[in-house]
Chain A
Amino acid sequence: MTEVLVRVEGLSKFFPLTRGLFRESREFIHAVEDVSFAIAPGESLGLVGESGSGKTTTGKLLVRLLDPTAGHIYLRSNGSEVDIATLRGKDLKAFRRRVQMIFQDPYESLNPRLTIFDTIAEPLMVQGIGNVLEREEMVAEMLVLVGLTPPSSFMFRFPHELSGGQRQRVAIARALVVGPTFVVADEPTSMLDVSIRTGIMYLMQDLAQRLGVTYLYITHDLAVARYMCQRIAVMYLGKIVEQAETEELLQHPQHPYTRALISAVPIPDPRIKRQAIEIKGSIPTPINPPPRCRFYDRCPIADAFCEQNDHPPLRDVGGGHYVACYKA
């Protein structure tokens, strides 16, 4: 990778488990720990994992909805890299124009008391872009772009008058109206029905090309990630365990967790029988986890070496395929 838009280095987020007024918490949930990756401009990186893997926390850290406990997030802007992990005040607000987020639930992410116009114009208003007339035009343009035409028939409706798919289009318009270069999309299609979902997936790809947007696409659905992302990073308990080009990852998974995950995805074809890779137990909560490999307790191939050593680092197994496993 020569050019990089977003570079994340050693990103961590710990949540204190008990909070008292005068007590310091001793126990932390290690939601995200020492995560590093990079995304090239125009690329779309999929962050895949089960619930509790820390993928949504990572997304929220990147848009600074949460403040990282440690680590750096570099965003390339006008030819120079800015560490956005520590931005505050005015700089943070200006950064919000460059990085936006699309949320999972289109029923929760739109204020029911605001018209579609007010919803999409809010980022413009907050950022002080344009006057009322100009904002009206920009909103109308965005509506056309996301396929809600004619815009005049949508602008002054309320969210409850729209279907789920239309609402998600509004949410996409709101995220893109300030012209961000990087968008974190947190499961934007998981609440939608199949026949609506494809439309939203194509829309996001189309807009990425037209507006030059780069996505971090967070999803639990590998099949959707296959269509939306050039590369996939698999997270388990706050760590990236494997990262590779999409097809490479799906065809030649190296990490035992990735293998189990892929083998568990149901296939919409009754003729194909999946090979079964069973792993024990279920995903625990990472409260003060031991330093050894996070997957140790469930791993079918773990041995004494895995138990005694720290969590394995991501290592290159060739062709940009990274695995965090001693045994792979």
Chain B
Amino acid sequence: MTEPILYVDDLTMHYTTRAGDVSAVDNVSFTLTKGESLGLVGESGCGKTSVAICLLKLLPDNARIKGGHIYLDGVDLVPLSEEQVRRYRWRRISMIFQAAMNSLNPVYKVGDQIVEAMETHLENFSYPAAREKVAELFRLVGLDPALMEQYPHEYSGGMRQRAVIAMALACDPDIIIADEPTTALDVIVQDRILKELRAIQQKLNMGMIYISHDIAVIAEVSDCVGVMYAGRLVEKACTEEIFHHPIHPYTAGLMSAFPSIVGPKRELTMLPGEPPDLLNPPPGCRFHPRCPYATEICREQVPEFKDYGGDHFAACWHPLEG
């Protein structure tokens, strides 16, 4: 394995609400190497988007990083000021947001918006070079460069998502974070965008963090998968390993609850209960109230996120046989 470009160490983030502190990200650690695609999967409210927000330090007013480090090429981003953060945001790490429509300003031409984004982030900016670059990016994401002169409302949903991807690629980032970029799209369009995104990521040898609730999508685009539950990373391994030899009962439950259109029609398992309220997360392992294997120790102590060999990490007191 090559040197990681991103190393997240014990990241903890809280939201302050009127009802109390919500522990949205709790002791999350992972690494990302150059050219690697990491899928971050989990249900709504599991903290996957919050992790992305921390990486870009796009924290809303009521969110606070309580602890941990985010090393980008050995530099810790957590203590940096907003001024310093701006130098790496978008240029080193960029993000594709869930709602493509909201990322594009309806009153400007799409091409101009991307050029403008480059102007604010790049030092040696030249207008003709930037236009040239955007045209090239449009071709890369499968859009006709002539579309640069059009407004977002003239685009279809899939085209908008492509434009947003082009925008995220504009400053040649090392890492791209994609937060459910295809959730609002129909399957056929989703399929095309997934393929293109994956191809671009491999071609440019970028690091990618792909966030989704859909494990089938994750299976398609990731080399590695991290499974999050209730603010914690509960398991991480390479895609093939995690799909076929899950260690954490939650991962296993998630996999077998997911319907597929191929293969034999197996019984879908049902996870009892609902994800916990992160205002008062359960003590010990946060999955224990829903876990069929939970014992005393699960209720009392937080399991360590440890290596089970072959870069397969999991946090569980009662790991399943691989």
* Residues of A that sit less than 8 Å from B by CB: 50-51, 163, 165-166, 193-199, 201-202, 220-224, 226-227, 247, 250, 260-272, 278-279, 282-283
A73 to B157 alpha-carbon distance, docked (Å): 34
Given contacts A226-B265, A227-B259, A227-B265, contact A266 B188 (CB under 8 A): no
Listed stretches B13-21, B90-98, B215-223; interface member: B215-223
* Interface residue from B186, B188, B189, B260 paired with A268 (Cβ < 8 Å): B260
Verify A198–B257 contact, CB threshold 8 A. Answer: yes
Which residue of chain B has the shortest Cβ distance to A196 in the bound complex?
A: B274
B77 touches A (CB below 8 Å): no
B314 touches A (CB below 8 Å): no
A195 to B257 alpha-carbon distance, docked (Å): 6
Q: Is the interface of A mostly helix, strand, loop or mixed?
A: helix
B254 touches A (CB below 8 Å): yes
Verify B243–A268 contact, CB threshold 8 A. Answer: yes
Verify A50–B253 contact, CB threshold 8 A. Answer: no
Which residue of chain A has the shortest Cβ distance to B187 in the bound complex?
A: A264
Verify B268–A198 contact, CB threshold 8 A. Answer: yes
* Interface residue from A195, A220, A260, A268 paired with B275 (Cβ < 8 Å): A195
A264 to B275 alpha-carbon distance, docked (Å): 30
Verify B186–A50 contact, CB threshold 8 A. Answer: yes
Shortest CB–CB separation between residue A308 and chain B, in angstroms?
27
Given contacts A267-B219, A267-B261, contact A194 B240 (CB under 8 A): no
Verify B187–A271 contact, CB threshold 8 A. Answer: no
- Which residues from chain A contact B254 at a C-beta distance below 8 Å? 194-195
Binary per-residue interface labels of chain B (243-282) against chain A in the complex, 1 for a CB within 8 Å, 0 otherwise? 1100000000111011111110100111100110000000
Shortest CB–CB separation between residue B292 and chain A, in angstroms?
13
A282 to B162 alpha-carbon distance, docked (Å): 14
- Which residues from chain B contact A163 at a C-beta distance below 8 Å? 274
Verify A193–B216 contact, CB threshold 8 A. Answer: no
Verify B187–A194 contact, CB threshold 8 A. Answer: no
* Residues of B that sit less than 8 Å from A by CB: 43-44, 156-158, 186-192, 194, 213-217, 219-220, 239-240, 243-244, 253-255, 257-263, 265, 268-271, 274-275, 290
- Which residues from chain A contact B243 at a C-beta distance below 8 Å? 268-271
Shortest CB–CB separation between residue B39 and chain A, in angstroms?
10
* Interface residue from A201, A202, A265 paired with B187 (Cβ < 8 Å): A265
A166 to B239 alpha-carbon distance, docked (Å): 32
Verify B188–A264 contact, CB threshold 8 A. Answer: yes
- Which residues from chain A contact B260 at a C-beta distance below 8 Å? 223, 267-269
Q: Count A-B contacts at CB 8 Å.
A: 117
Given contacts A264-B188, A268-B255, contact A250 B270 (CB under 8 A): no
Verify A270–B239 contact, CB threshold 8 A. Answer: yes
Which residue of chain B has the shortest Cβ distance to A50 in the bound complex?
A: B186
Which residue of chain A has the shortest Cβ distance to B290 in the bound complex?
A: A195
The 8 A-B residue pairs with the shortest CB-CB distance in the complex, in nearest-first order: A264-B191, A193-B43, A266-B216, A223-B259, A50-B186, A195-B271, A268-B216, A198-B270
Verify B257–A197 contact, CB threshold 8 A. Answer: yes
- Which residues from chain B contact A266 at a C-beta distance below 8 Å? 187, 190-191, 194, 214, 216-217, 219-220
Given contacts A197-B257, A227-B268, A270-B243, contact A264 B190 (CB under 8 A): yes
A119 to B244 alpha-carbon distance, docked (Å): 44
Shortest CB–CB separation between residue B94 and chain A, in angstroms?
24
Given contacts A198-B270, A267-B219, A270-B243, contact A224 B259 (CB under 8 A): yes
- Which residues from chain B contact A250 at a C-beta distance below 8 Å? 261
A194 to B190 alpha-carbon distance, docked (Å): 19
* A-B CB contact pairs (8 Å), 8 listed: A50-B186, A193-B44, A223-B260, A250-B261, A262-B261, A267-B262, A270-B220, A278-B192
A260 to B158 alpha-carbon distance, docked (Å): 17
Verify B269–A198 contact, CB threshold 8 A. Answer: yes
- Which residues from chain B contact A271 at a C-beta distance below 8 Å? 240, 243-244
Shortest CB–CB separation between residue A52 and chain B, in angstroms?
8
A224 to B258 alpha-carbon distance, docked (Å): 9
* Interface residue from A198, A222, A262, A282 paired with B189 (Cβ < 8 Å): A282
Verify A265–B261 contact, CB threshold 8 A. Answer: yes
A263 to B220 alpha-carbon distance, docked (Å): 13
Given contacts A50-B188, A264-B187, A282-B156, contact A193 B275 (CB under 8 A): yes
Which residue of chain A has the shortest Cβ distance to B223 in the bound complex?
A: A270
A220 to B185 alpha-carbon distance, docked (Å): 11
